[in-house]
Chain A
Amino acid sequence: MALSSNDISIGQTFEQVLVEDLKRTQLVQYAGASGDYNPLHTDEVFAKEVAGYPTVFAHGMLTMGMTGKLLTDTLGDGMLVRYGGRFTSQVFPGDTLTAQATVESMDTEDGAAVVNLTVATSNQDGVVVFSGSATGRLDA
């Protein structure tokens, strides 16, 4: 299941559609599971009338969590060493998100082979909504 250095090459890209037509209900689901009940994400009246947004929008951490699926599906379970990034644009209900992870380099850390990836998740208009990097262990 885990990736080996023989399986990959620099510049190789892994891609996954994370969600199509994101539903407000999924934002409610994420609020409940994560415990982040900020009404900006689930309360249309508040988001529009008080905060001045066109509608509710997704938790950045929902996008980062969904993007993590590409990484764990690619690297295998329990192989991530580091994962991080910036929330570069907002994600709204109706959005379709696609994540890409690109092999930047391979290295050794603490005696284990690792791969360094850049990670970018974009919406249906090609706007990057989450941009970051990840490092994962490879099979020996």
Chain B
Amino acid sequence: MAIEQFPVEASHILMFARSIGDPNPIYADRSYAEGTEVGGVIAPPTFVQASAQFDDEYPLRPKPGQPWFGSGKEPTGIKRESSGGGGGGGGLHAEQHYEYHQPLKAGEVLTATAKPGKTWEKEGRRAGKLVFSESIVEYRNPAGELVVTARGVGVRTERPVDS
């Protein structure tokens, strides 16, 4: 995954903050935010996850004219290979870690570049064989400075997790 332009916009921050139930005015009220130490609207700590909106290849967004695995007439729009199906949507999110190098401000346009990380396997008690894979995404500002580093770990399971 590589994102050439991830515009960090105030209205997107507002919607994201609403979705996580955070009414902090630093995410919503420009005049309030300008009077604070950070000096303007900033994004919540997990906001860079929403860079998926600007990833042309992102697989978890329906695209016009392309098959989609969610339900329509049938429970799924795609007959999947016998992958075990437990993850359903191509695996589950196991871990996420962020490093913040500077506050992420509304109005910035970032780039994101991903580097593959390690892959490893584990025998799970509840879901059979688990295959973990790591990816590291660097978010940089136009000056090339790191703003956020994100390390995610995904897992594919043999069976649904019965928690």
List residues of chain A with CB under 8 Å of any chain B CB: 1-2, 18-19, 26, 29-30, 32-40, 43, 45-47, 49-53, 59-62, 64-66, 68-69, 71-73, 77-78, 80-87, 89-90, 127, 132
Contact = CB atoms under 8 A, between A and B. Distances in A.
A77 B36 contact: yes
Given A73-B24, A90-B161, A43 B71 contact: yes
Contacts of A36: 49, 52, 60
Size band of the interface chain B makes with A: 35 or more
Interface stretch (B12-20, B106-114, B115-123, B135-143): B12-20
Given A46-B75, A49-B75, A33 B18 contact: yes
A138 to B, nearest CB: 14
Interface of B: 12, 15-16, 18-22, 24, 26, 36-38, 42, 44-46, 49-50, 52-53, 58, 60-62, 69-71, 75-76, 85-90, 92-100, 103, 151, 159-161, 163
Given A51-B86, A69-B21, A83-B97, 14 more contacts: A18-B21, A34-B16, A38-B89, A49-B75, A51-B85, A60-B94, A61-B96, A65-B22, A65-B45, A72-B44, A77-B37, A78-B38, A84-B97, A87-B92
